[in-house]
Amino acid sequence: MSTTVNKATWAIDPVHSTIRFDAKYLLITSVSGWFREFEGTLLSDCTGFNNSEIQLTIYTHSLNTGNNERDNHLRSPDFFDARQFPTIQFRSTAVTTNDKRIEVTGILTVKGIEHPFTFNATFLGMCADPLGNTKAAFEMDTVLNRKDFNITWNQLFDKNGLLLSDEVRVHCDLQLLKLS
């Protein structure tokens, strides 16, 4: 006899979520940027988030560092090549939970290059908003190597220093809205 598990569908609430990245400039200070447009869904068991299915789309044209010249360079073929690759995609292949810690494994696609990726997230809680909608919140910090996605542009300065770090830190504050 098979049992049917009820599924809950959640969507990222972009008004109450952020995706930020930081890279070292001159290898001493961080420059931060944000992706302003993204969307995603999470399909979970009604009892929790273990074995969830996650889909995330980030729109590369929406990046913003607060400097138009730098933003245009980051959207160029030297970096994200936003015209040819308008999205960054993530889809989970495994999600395991341990109390409030969640390990998410999946495939991250940047500039058409798929790369297996695992990150840890923290479940911050669940509650009803003032309109009676069920919300859940998560936080995630991770580090990527931009060269894994053929983002290799760099420049030497002062005869022996690199302009940019290969490591990029990513921080996400995600609020999900339960749809069903």
CATH class of 7-178: mainly beta
Domain borders along the chain are: 7-178
Residue 2: the pLDDT is: 46
Three-state secondary structure along the chain? CCCCCCEEEEEECHHHCEEEEEEEECCCEEEEEEECCEEEEEEEECCCCCCCEEEEEEEHHHEECCCHHHHHHHHCCCCCCCCCCCEEEEEEEEEEEECCEEEEEEEEEECCEEEEEEEEEEEEEEEECCCCCEEEEEEEEEEEEHHHHCCCCCCEECCCEECEEEEEEEEEEEEEEECC
Point out the residues of the chain with pLDDT beneath 70: 1-5, 159-160
